Structure formats: C-alpha cells, structure tokens
Structure 1
Amino acid sequence: MIKELNDDQLNRYSRQILLPEIDYAGQLKLAQSHALIIGLGGLGSPAALYLAAAGIGKLTLVDFDQVDESNLQRQVIHTEQRLGQNKAQSAAQTLAQINAACQIQVIERQLDSAEINQLLPQIDVVLDCSDNFATRFALNQACFKAKKPLVSGAAIRWEGQLTTYDFRQDDSPCYECLYKPGTANDQSCSRNGVISPLVGMIGSMQAMEAIKALVGLPTLVGKLLLVDGLTMQFRQFNLKRDPYCEHGQSQK
C-alpha cells in the first residue's frame, strides 16, 4: 500500500488537495482505496472516469456485456473502435490513458452472490451502476453483510435517483428499505429510452458520493435524491431504515 504521495501526485491532484475537506490526508486515502464498480454502461462510464481521474488507487470493473452501437449515445467511456468488445475491458483501456497509475482489475462475467461476498473484504466502496433489480438486491445484501458503503444510482427516460447506503453506520437504511423484492419491475433504457446527459449527471454524482465516503465526509445516507432532467428540478427526501426490513431487524 502506498505510504505517501510523491511530487508528481502532489502536482497532479493539487486542485483537490487545496480543498480543506480533502487536503493531503484525504488524497492519500484515495490513493490507498479500492472501489468496485458493477456495470460499465451509462452510469459506470462517468463514475469510473472521475474516480480514476481523482486518484483512486485501484478500481475493479465488472461487466459481462459487450459494447453495442446503441450504447455510444451515453456510455462515454467506450468508442466506435471497441464495438463488440467486453465493456469492462473497453473501460479499462480508456482509464489507462487517463491515469496509468490507477490499478485496474477487470472481471468479464456476472458475479454470483458467493463471488461478491468473496470480493468485498478487499473493497472500500461499491458503486452500483447496474441496470437490473436482481443485481441491486444481491449487492445490497452483500454490502450489508460486509459493512461496506454502497453508492446506488439509477436513470431512465428523464429521471434519475441517487443515494448512499453506508452500512458502517448502524442507522443506515438499505436498498430493501426502498424497494422490496418482487414488488419492483425492471425498466430498461432499451424499452423506455434515456436522455444521454442524465446518466452522466447521476454517474458523476455517484463518483462524488464514493469519494466522500472514502475520505469520511457526509454523504446522502438517509436521503434519496431525485433528478428530473426535463424540468431540471432536484428533490431530496428522507429515507429511513424500515423497522420491518429483514436487514433492519437483524441489527436489533
């Protein structure tokens, strides 16, 4: 693990180090951190780009899908030259050009619950950039068990949402406090559409939340942020732990 920042890193990240909330200690913490990104599509693209640029020490990228021409409208980490290539591999190539010092681990398959549980002990923050409820529920359960912060984003049509479930905090709600298994219907961009910059907005804010979680700054834990891209309205609601949620009950 890196013990201190060298002169090149001090210069590269000087604009962040100038922020009193980050400073040298926070930047060093980022350089020592390992983030897991599930899904390198519309949300994962900007999230990965900004985390690599911000100086995260290691990124593990997970995606089983291939780059399709219809992805290029919003998945800005991929290029026309990489059509048909695995998305995690394509993203890794772009990130290597942005920050060669960032270690990149690529997983080109969909992880099952056992594999997620095995991976999480080495992870400091998880970004859920997936597009289906099965993956979201599995990540929620695994992060709850491992007490890892989970940054959750979603976007479809003109609407997006964002929150952080920080299971290092006993009073943090979880994904099942918001959605119950079997009660939510998957909605895909392929069937419902999505405006391109919206996923950039939500994915970038996921990177922001991950950075804050890593350096110990307040996040959206206990809050749900809703974004309406058509009217440019932002609304924030309180999100409390459901006392009837099985995860909440297990903490009593």
Structure 2
Amino acid sequence: MNLKITKENYQRYHRQIIVPEIGINGQLKLQEAKVLVIGAGGLGSPVLLYLAGAGIGTLGIADHDTVAIHNLHRQILHRESLVAASKAQSALEGLQQLNSTIQYHIHEEAISTGNATDIISDYDLVIDGSDNFATRYLVNDTCVAEDKPLVYGSILGFEGQVAVFNHNGGKHLGMLFPEPPPAELVPNCGENGVLGTLPGIIGTMMAQEALKLLTGLPVLHNQLLIFNTLHWTFRKITF
C-alpha cells in the first residue's frame, strides 16, 4: 500500500506525529494497519474511539448484540437514540462522526468456530473486548493459528487486566490460563457490577498497547498487568 501523509492528515494527527517515538513513519504504520476490535461494549468503546482518533487505516468492529439502556453508563460510544439498534451499526455511526477518513468493516455476528478464521485472518492485530471466556479462548486460539498478535483486557468491580499475547514470539492466553474456569463460577458485571469508568481506563490502556505495538514500540511481553483502581495498585505477573 502506497500511503503518504497528506496536509490534512498532518493537521489532524500533528500532536502524535511530533512525539519523537511516533513521527511520520509511525503515523504511516497506523494508516497501513488493519485492526479488528471484538466487542463494541465497555472495553471496545474507548478502544475504538482512540484507534479511530489515531488514524488506524482499517478498523473492524465485531459485535452481534444490540444497545441496551443499561449499557450507556459505561459503553460511551453509544447514544440513547440508538437503544435497541445493532451495536456494530451504532459504533460505526459514532466513529464515522469522529473520523470519516478511515475504512470501517462491521461484523454483526457472534465470533464462532465457523467464522473466526475468516474474520480474523483479514486483520493485522486483534483486540479482544469480549465479556465471556468461550469467546476469549476461541479468539486466542484463532490468533495463534493465524499468527496474529492479540491485545487482551478484562474487568470486574474495581480491577482490570491487560496483556499482549502472541507477539514477537510471546506466549498466549492458553499458556497463562490453560483451562477456562467453569461457567457457573465466573462472575460478571451483570451480577457483580462495575463502575463505568473502569472499562474506560482499561480500554484506554488496551488502545495504548495497540498503538505502541503497531508503531514498533515496546509492549507487555509475557506479562499480565493487573490494575486495582480502588487502591491504585499495579501488579505485573510474568508467565
């Protein structure tokens, strides 16, 4: 792909282009990148907004759900007027208003064994903002099979986790947690709750790792970052 920084692009992305570690070459890498975000919810909303803002060349949005009123306290990409609408379509509308210059592809279907490879194979990087272990493990396994790096995040209560899997010879989710926990033992936001700011914080951290990865900067490698926002503590687990 023969891309260049136009005058309009330079004006739009000037504040990040002048960061020494990014520069023109970094911006070109972002414009050439194809990134798939799985889930346009609490984590996916800030990820998508910041990646669109940064000028990612192609953004894929995978979500089969619809917008509900209880989503709006944390899923900041959506609006009251789009309650009951497709989340992928709602996300697309919001992102196009933020940045109409990039390419968007929406996938209004659940990620399954029947479509995971077809969807994921078209992208350079996958970001998983899903909310269940079945999808997380399927996405991880597909990224391993397709040799795609994966940015991972999860949240509950006041705590969030971030990791980068399958990048530069790095390990993957199955090496950190070989087996998913039984479904009946897994807490979720619907039962245990979450402050709306937490997915914003963790999603922004996921977007930061994605932008660093795409521009060739250091990212988490064989480490799980655990951030407790109640006590403002960070822990890194090496695996």
State the TM-score, normalizing by the size of structure 1.
0.91
| Overall identity of the aligned pairs, in % | 40
Aligned-pair CA distance for 1:199: 0.4
Which amino acid in the other structure matches residue 119 of structure 1?
I
User: What's the counterpart of residue 202 of structure 1?
Assistant: 202
Residues 209 and 122 of structure 1: CA distance in aligned 2, closer, same or farther (over 3 Å): same
CA contact (8 A) 1:173 1:222 kept: yes
Residues 83-122 of structure 1: CA distance to partner in whole angstroms, max 9, x if unpaired? 0011111011000000001211111110222422122332
On the 8 A contact 2:42/2:199 being kept in 1, the answer is: yes
Aligned to 1:46: 46
Aligned residues: 237
Kept in 1: contact 2:17–2:27 (CA 8 A): yes
Query: For each residue in 1:183-203, what CA deviation from the matched residue of structure 2 results, as whole angstroms up to 9, or x when unmatched?
Result: 354321101100111100000
SS of residue paired to 2:199: helix
- CA offsets per residue over residues 168-214 of structure 1, 9 Å max, x none? 422x1111122232435432110110011110000011111111111
Q: Distance in 2 between matches of 1:168 and 1:227?
A: 22
Query: Secondary structure, in 3 states, of the residue corresponding to 2:152?
Result: strand
Q: 2:68, 2:186 → 1: CA distance? A: 21
Q: How does 1:169-248 map to 2 (within 5 A)?
A: 169-170=168-169, 172-183=170-181, 185-239=185-239
Structure 2, unmatched stretches of 5+, are none
Matches within 5 A, 1:82-93: 82-93=82-93
**Which moved further from structure 2: 228-237 or 56-65?**
228-237
CA contact (8 A) 1:2 1:31 kept: no
- Which residue number in structure 2 is paired with residue 147 of structure 1? 147
Shift of residue 215, structure 1, vs aligned partner: 1.2
Give the superposition deviation at 1:234.
1.6
Which whole-Å CA distance do the structure 2 matches of 1:52 and 1:2 have between them? 20
Question: SS state of the match for residue 66, structure 1?
Answer: coil
By how many angstroms is 1:53 displaced? Answer: 0.1
Q: How does the TM-score come out when normalised to structure 2?
A: 0.95
Secondary structure of 2:29's partner?
helix
**SS of aligned partner of 1:221:** coil
Between 1:201-210 and 1:115-124, the stretch displaced more is 115-124
Q: Give the corresponding residue for 1:66.
A: 66
Shift of 1:135: 0.4
Q: Which residue of 1 aligns with 2:77?
A: 77
Residue 106 of structure 1 is matched in structure 2 by: 106
Q: Secondary structure at the match of 1:113?
A: coil
Q: Show structure 1 runs of 5+ residues with no match.
A: 240-252
- Runs of 4 or more off by more than 4 Å in structure 1? none
